[in-house]
Amino acid sequence: MKKNNYKDYAAMSRAAADIVVATVKAKPNAVLGLPTGSTPIGMYAELVKDYKAGKVDFSEVTTFNLDEYIGLDTKHEQSYRRFMQEQLFDHINIKPSNTHIPSGTAKDLNKAAKEFEDLLKKSGGVDLFVLGIGTNGHIGFNEPAASMPAYTHVVGLAEETIKVNADKFFAGDMKAVPKTAVSMGLATIMKANKIILLSNGESKNDAIAKIDSQVLTLDCPATVLHMHRDVTLLIS
């Protein structure tokens, strides 16, 4: 595992965008794994700038997002589909049909999760996965637990995650935050060829310290990344 420290959020966001652009240049039909949350917003803004400057072409790129809240319509202002449209997809030349986000509104959520996992497999797998990390060490919505499903699944959000997301995105209203989500599993994520994890700010220090300790524990799901051969942490 490699670790790169950046002087500030802008520098980390630029570095992350450079890695995405290099991946797409090397393989125009690359498959990208993508996160939502506050951390990747700067990277998405840089990618939009690069696209508008003619530095990158997303016309053959396919994307798979990590997760989605259950019960929020795709148009809801906090749905991860809407987030991705607003931060990235609406501003670049990616084909809408090539953008995949787990369904949080399907009648049969388990069936939809399985179909999502199958589609990802059929795509040939993720070339580059960009991850964020929760204050509790979650990646996607793989929350600390004794055990968890390996692949895309329905999951309950940890109390800490509900609180953090309420403060950041739901004006502090914990009741408004969905309590369940659909998330890729750790095994889904670990199948990617290459992984970068973005971490910004002191609130993530504990989780990063657990990764640094090189002890594998599902109490901090991100520690499993040590088992992958090409992971870089980008820290600001």
Taking the complex as a whole, the smallest distance from the CB of residue 172 to ligand PGA amounts, in Å, to: 15
Q: Which of 120, 133, 181, 208 binds ligand PGA (CB under 6 A)?
A: 133
Of 76-84, 101-109, 129-137, 227-235, the window that binds ligand PGA (rule: CB under 6 A) is 129-137
Scanning the chain, the segments in alpha helix (DSSP H) are 9-26, 41-52, 80-87, 109-122, 159-169, 186-190, 205-212
46-75 footprint of ligand PGA as x/- string (CB under 6 A): ------------------------------
Closest to ligand PGA by CB, 37 or 178: 37
Q: Is 136 noted as a catalytic residue in this protein?
A: yes
* Spatial separation of the C-alpha atoms in residues 73 and 94, rounded to whole Å: 22
Based on the number of CB atoms within 10 Å of its own CB, is 88 exposed (0-12), middle (13-18) or buried (19 or more)? buried
Q: Which of 67, 68, 117, 127 is catalytic?
A: 67
Q: What are the two backbone dihedrals, phi and then psi, of residue 40, each rounded to the nearest 5 degrees?
A: -80, 0
Q: Which residue is nearest to ligand PGA (CB)?
A: 37
Q: How far, in Å, CA of 191 to CA of 211, rounded?
A: 19
User: Any contact of residue 13 with ligand PGA (CB under 6 A)?
Assistant: no
CA dihedral 46, 116, 156, 138 (to 10 degrees): -40
Reply yes or no on whether 117 is catalytic.
no
**Residue 38 makes contact with ligand PGA by CB under 6 A:** yes
Residue 37 binds ligand PGA, judged by CB under 6 A: yes
Per CB under 6 A, which region of 19-27, 37-45, 175-183, 218-226 contacts ligand PGA? 37-45
Contact 83, 50 (CB under 8 A): no
Q: Is 134 in the site for ligand PGA (CB under 6 A)?
A: yes
205 is catalytic: no
The correct pick among 104, 132, 178, 221 for binding ligand PGA (CB under 6 A) is: 132
Count how many residues are written for the chain.
236
- What letter would DSSP give residue 59? T
> Using CB under 6 A as the criterion, what x/- string covers residues 89-128 for binding ligand PGA?
----------------------------------------
Which residues, numbered 156-215, are part of the site for ligand PGA (CB under 6 A)?
168
Helix axis angle for 9-26 and 41-52, nearest 10°, is: 50
What dihedral do alpha carbons 203, 34, 153, 121 form, nearest 10°?
A: -150
Which one, 56 or 181, has the nearer CB to ligand PGA?
A: 181
CB distance 125 to 192 below 8 Å: yes
Binding site for ligand PGA (CB under 6 A): 37-39, 132-134, 138, 168
